[in-house]
Structure 1
């Protein structure tokens, strides 16, 4: 060991050496990316894992540093291990030992929840003027940054060394051609205007900034945007970049951050505030003033600026350009006269000039649904981080806690991540708790106001920022903006055409819509191939208030409602079979407007078409967990004291009674189901009649005592009325219900055979919903004969996640728990059932009648010595994050040996009255949350 310690430590070759510092474990992919980037430049990466091991680690990296030329630091969340006898970690020691004159390239992975000591180290690095400082998010982005930064560094060093060897022959002190003002072409020609202009400007031989506003607060949540814009600027190919977004979105703050960080390759960064410039003719003079160029008056000002700044790389930031948008042509002329300049523009509208590259400034990242998220998940969201930062500025005692995190998260979600709105709300923390503030956000505009006198008047309230943008619109665009106040959420072009038909100002509807998009009052995106438009909440609130005051508002609302009645008719046939997924997404896209339309039409007594539309979308409400909401609409219709058509009454009574079958409560009254059955038969609605027969069959099987003979006859009639060719999904669901009834009658093999047939048909037709619930039913049937098949429930879980079907997720977790019970894994049983409990709390179907299948398995455990361990595991599962619960559920387990049936197997008890998954008939629905992506936490 002594001999090894005395030997010099060498890298594999003697090329230019780049030392890479990071924690090894958490940044392994990033280290691989860094190594590849360095080797692409034919440089030598100096990395701990590449070194010889006879040397102690500390001696190894110190020796490597002594022989390295460039220091690359890659940091994320952890400070690193502190060795015995040391005061700092190896990560910090490496940075401290790097020579001061060694170039240091520092890269920070985002997002991050950093160790306190790492934050302290980064603070010192920020103050080190020998280090660059760049955020990144992926290993691919890191590789690109390292490649570009090392190439730039090498080029600069080459220029500097050449300048030192050849003197000032055409290369200035900063290593840039033409850096000295006297060597420029204008000075050589003796142009008096250029000489006058040069006399008043800053010395261009040194890089600098001019009048960049000093931010009063830290920029929160914009690291990725800053990195992207700096990358665009660094390439030099983009000469005019426009940051576009609505008022309050943070365009100016982002531009300030980019301007402060730009540095090389620019000689100078100049910030030109245009908020008080109202005449487009004053734009060029404002730029000249900030550049220190005096207007001699004998040439166009753009030419004078070109002469004064010849040979200099300028970054010119033009802030608040929307009010002088017609000056875009002057800026383009200036681009021609300043061939080495780049413009960074902030505007609520695009400039629409050649060569413009638009950067859409989006709202800050939102927290997950607080009903399902942990405090940690909420606290890392950019919108929440901004709220907490600004709240602490208003009240230093404020902390994000388990008690207030729900309110803060809901505020940020209600404000849709708009930075100005969040800042204004957070400033109210001295007077309102988050919960109290949330209660006032139904009408948010009066709350969102600041008294700060250094804020421009147009930004002191959200309302002022939006109205500022509206004032800049053409009369046609202002009229369209007001008309769009009829919409409650995202809306399609078809919907816009419907509500603007025959409006005299809508002759060029697409052009007028584009003006609103360009003015950042509308956002446009695609969903399932359908172009959709949306407004941020503060914008929509103003549009809605103006629309309500319109004399024709009632007529437009009716047109709006009729459009969504037509949409229901168009999508209905697509909800079955292979087109199901696309149809669900199409309805999801305009769900808020569908709800608003149906509620309005009911309020104006147009109940018959609403009932028909709701019935058309039955599968949507079922899959998306909205059956209870649709039931409430039907109850409103029944209680409205209106004359109803027979079909309307059949639908309303059917809905209310069928959904009640899967809800907690006393034994179901089959009378309304019988009535709806008679009405469906009378009006000739065969699908409705089949559904009523199935619901009545389930009710008979669930009665005390069960009437299985009548249930069997009813279900067979239901199967005869609907063909798989006409209604493949419903035919399969009714057959599935017959399988559940067969199981209840004690024919386990017969039930499994039925489920296999349904599964085959569902897979052939591409019906994911039918496949999902039939897998669960098949799994329970096999458990009834002592055969544990966790693979069936795992696939059921995967498909339920694909459908965002929370109730299906709960059934799958319960099935997997039952399989674990057969295998004797008490801890797994408890955790999975605890996680299922949490999902059911969220769906609001705790204690539903169909949710009884797993109970025999639990009762056996509770009667055993494992009861205490089971209860502890179940409590753990209830508090587990959604991701952790799903990872556990989907982890492979050893197959269980065949065992005796774990639960009752008598004719009336095999799997529960409504079938194993409770999803074999409309009344035993498998609801889902509206949008419950698998990455969101269960809690």
Structure 2
């Protein structure tokens, strides 16, 4: 890719592609850190001046860097950059000019911005340059995702362009995103002043005899930020790092399911969840971070039980109180180091070097990029940090006020407020009084309307959208200028903002949310606001339901995932107050989400609660609850499937005129009939054909296609693969026309089994199933796809590959808790045949190796071009 490199050059492993990053250094320091992390995640080499170079390098230095680089990344915001003496343009513009014309250029613009005039002119020239891509962004997280995706696409395109036509694989390779559980939260700030703490905790994690480390401290002290930094640094020491947010949980019984969700383990059957987790993660060295444990302290006993099952796991816990379990090692998180007392020392560099002051400056510049430390304001900053006792959240909230208050003015207000609050609550620990006072002080600086809105926001359990705020603020005085009030809360660091699929979302830090929640509970109209909150998430289900079908499927899944904690809180509250009919309808509307994202057991639990609530249920509600619970039981190993329940559900759906519900219940009954011993295939086919008569592809395209695919699978079981393939081909054509990823994914796998039944393996169908499963975020699909590919390899006589893929498939199922789910009958016949042959030992040896493969290695075995061709 280097303009000066020969087209045929082949790099050795130590010669990674180099990505040159151009931006202003101070203004975009957080963005540069995120860019570096995104580049390194792709195993590429970032070329950045902070990696061993001076902050303002001469022209010769960045020219040399550019000559050795392969891709140019430009990140621009507001400033044009420093112009060196004797120069007419800034280094920022010179870097772009010096980049070779044929060097790929990825340009990212931070929004919103009031740009320098010369930067605007430079960006105008870049827009006219047809060699550069041009993408806006608003958050550092979004920037990291854009850079990683764009570089991956660019590399794939260059790779494809370099191949001869004979090298094109049967199916395109897809880069697997990092496992969901290994995504650590993106920190808002640098881990200032925590270097020694990080080093100590890493040493503790290396001690296998100490498997539970609890970071203890008051709210806002930086426990979570320290845990994130330790987990990021410790990544290479563990097979997997999993971060579990507990801040939204109130019931200790929800802790283990939350851990299971983050580990990608589905709850199956009636075995204790600790045992299921132990089986799923057996032999894996895990670091599991449990954040905000103080809300669920009674669950500490469950962690002790989990330690006995996850014998190779280590737990890093953040809590305001210690767990008090055997083997716990407690690390007290202290405030940031303070500057010297200005009254006893003269101002010098030690003031600015103090971690507390460094954090204040960092957050003040984020609020006001023009802010600078001077001899006049340094003493005020030092006194503020000392007054706040080095508590990170307190410093962040104070620094955010730099837009409207000078340090001296801020100090006067702070000194006035804190003593009153400390005196009013002497039973609260000193540091907790300080952080509470700081949050309360930030709230008290708000306008009355913003304070009213802040209290109402205490109803939310996680991230929330602007639409949700409008719903709970309706008919309140705050609703007259809602956007202005939200901006006021954001500017005060009481709200944080990010985007999901173009939808702005808001969140609060835990200590801030706690104060909002406590105030909300005292509100006279809290019950009405909770109901408005619940009604909003009922409407969200209705809005998202049609988007879960067709080309909008992926966006709809991610949109719902973003506010899932609020969906859960809303539906639980509505069930608690007896509004069960509306909840059942909403859960039914979102059936495709629960299925694709592996959340059906949770939806089943809600339906069982509704059935046992004692509330008089509408016929439609009972039909939904019976149909959904029996559908889930059908796929859970060891669960008894009550055919009578399904038949009752069919009758009820028919009685209320819900043709889609009736068709779904008939499909469930059809699958149950095919799964009995012996199977009743005649009845199963009749039921499925009845289901298809009830709905049209125009009204319910996704469900109609899925029901046809189910009919095709029944024909395969009946011994008619040709008839099944004809059905599958039609379904696949419709799925591609509609852009429906789920239908194409499921039907690709079903078609693959039909071709195997004909004795003609088609591995590309299972490869496609795997690619689409990864795209949907459906962990179940990976195990099923690997199983199909193993069958294809075995059918083609490649016993070793078949064994490897079978072992990898078993491990994939093990990790998601589906180890006992029945395998496809066609596949079982292949395995049984091999095990009865003289190649059984070879097959079993490869199978054992496949079980030990990591998930990325197993996917590489399938998705790399060479592997796809050999399949």
Pick the TM interval, shorter chain. 0.5 to 0.7
Count of residue pairs brought into register by the alignment: 582
Counterpart check, 1:460 vs 2:433: no
User: How far does the alpha carbon of each residue in 1:502-545 deviate from its partner, in whole angstroms, 9 at most, with x for none?
Assistant: 22244321111001111222222232222222223443333333
Q: 1:572 to 1:668 in 2, by over 3 A?
A: same
Instruction: Indicate the residue corresponding to 2:265 in structure 1.
Output: none
Counterpart check, 1:554 vs 2:527: yes
Structure 1 Cα separation of the partners of residues 807 and 662 of structure 2: 39
Matches within 5 A, 1:581-730: 581-665=554-638, 668-730=641-703
Question: Which residue of the other structure, out of 290, 293, 299, is the alignment partner of 1:440?
Answer: 293
* 1:741 shift after superposition: 1.0
- SS of 1:531's equivalent in the other structure is strand
* 1:877 shift after superposition: 3.1
Instruction: Indicate the residue corresponding to 2:14 in structure 1.
Output: 26
Q: 1:408 to 1:796 in 2, by over 3 A?
A: farther
Instruction: Indicate the residue corresponding to 2:459 in structure 1.
Output: 486
- SS of 2:620's equivalent in the other structure is helix
- SS of 2:497's equivalent in the other structure is strand
* 1:844 shift after superposition: 2.7
- SS of 2:641's equivalent in the other structure is coil
Matches within 5 A, 1:357-396: 389-391=195-197
Instruction: Indicate the residue corresponding to 1:254 in structure 2.
Output: none
* 1:552 shift after superposition: 2.4
Structure 2 Cα separation of the partners of residues 690 and 659 of structure 1: 16
User: How far does the alpha carbon of each residue in 1:680-726 deviate from its partner, in whole angstroms, 9 at most, with x for none?
Assistant: 01111100111111111111111122111111211111110010011
Question: Which residue of the other structure, out of 496, 503, 519, is the alignment partner of 1:523?
Answer: 496
User: How far does the alpha carbon of each residue in 1:207-245 deviate from its partner, in whole angstroms, 9 at most, with x for none?
Assistant: xxxxxxxxxxxxxxxxxxxx99999764589xxxxxxxx
Contact in 1 for aligned 2:452/2:478 (Cα 8 Å): yes
Structure 2 Cα separation of the partners of residues 472 and 363 of structure 1: 31
Counterpart check, 1:450 vs 2:334: yes
Counterpart check, 1:419 vs 2:293: no
Question: Which residue of the other structure, out of 790, 796, 799, is the alignment partner of 1:826?
Answer: 799
Question: Gaps spanning 5+ residues in structure 2: where?
Answer: 1-10, 23-34, 64-74, 86-136, 146-175, 233-285, 297-317, 322-331, 339-355, 357-385, 394-431
Structure 1 Cα separation of the partners of residues 806 and 50 of structure 2: 42
Structure 2 Cα separation of the partners of residues 631 and 397 of structure 1: 43
Contact in 2 for aligned 1:476/1:512 (Cα 8 Å): yes
* 1:874 shift after superposition: 3.4
> Highest Rg: 1 or 2?
1
- SS of 1:507's equivalent in the other structure is helix
Instruction: Indicate the residue corresponding to 2:857 in structure 1.
Output: 884
* 1:854 shift after superposition: 2.6
Structure 2 Cα separation of the partners of residues 526 and 471 of structure 1: 28
Structure 1 Cα separation of the partners of residues 177 and 62 of structure 2: 48
- SS of 1:533's equivalent in the other structure is strand
Structure 1 Cα separation of the partners of residues 79 and 800 of structure 2: 51
User: How far does the alpha carbon of each residue in 1:732-770 deviate from its partner, in whole angstroms, 9 at most, with x for none?
Assistant: 111111111111111110111110111111111111110
Contact in 1 for aligned 2:191/2:229 (Cα 8 Å): no
Contact in 2 for aligned 1:823/1:897 (Cα 8 Å): no
User: How far does the alpha carbon of each residue in 1:370-405 deviate from its partner, in whole angstroms, 9 at most, with x for none?
Assistant: 99778xx98999999999954456578523467879
* 1:889 shift after superposition: 1.3
Counterpart check, 1:751 vs 2:635: no
* 1:457 shift after superposition: 4.8
Q: 1:692 to 1:371 in 2, by over 3 A?
A: same
Structure 2 Cα separation of the partners of residues 365 and 110 of structure 1: 8
Structure 1 Cα separation of the partners of residues 604 and 853 of structure 2: 32
User: How far does the alpha carbon of each residue in 1:78-116 deviate from its partner, in whole angstroms, 9 at most, with x for none?
Assistant: xxxxxxxxxxxxxxxxxxxxxxxxxxxxxx9768999xx
Counterpart check, 1:540 vs 2:505: no
- SS of 1:630's equivalent in the other structure is helix
Instruction: Indicate the residue corresponding to 1:246 in structure 2.
Output: none
* 1:449 shift after superposition: 6.0
Larger helix share, 1 or 2? 2
Structure 2 Cα separation of the partners of residues 595 and 710 of structure 1: 38
Structure 2 Cα separation of the partners of residues 835 and 639 of structure 1: 41
Bigger mean CA deviation after superposition, 648-657 or 487-496: 487-496
* 1:663 shift after superposition: 1.0
Question: Gaps spanning 5+ residues in structure 1: where?
Answer: 1-22, 38-107, 115-135, 156-226, 238-357, 427-432, 899-939
- SS of 1:592's equivalent in the other structure is helix
Structure 2 Cα separation of the partners of residues 478 and 652 of structure 1: 41
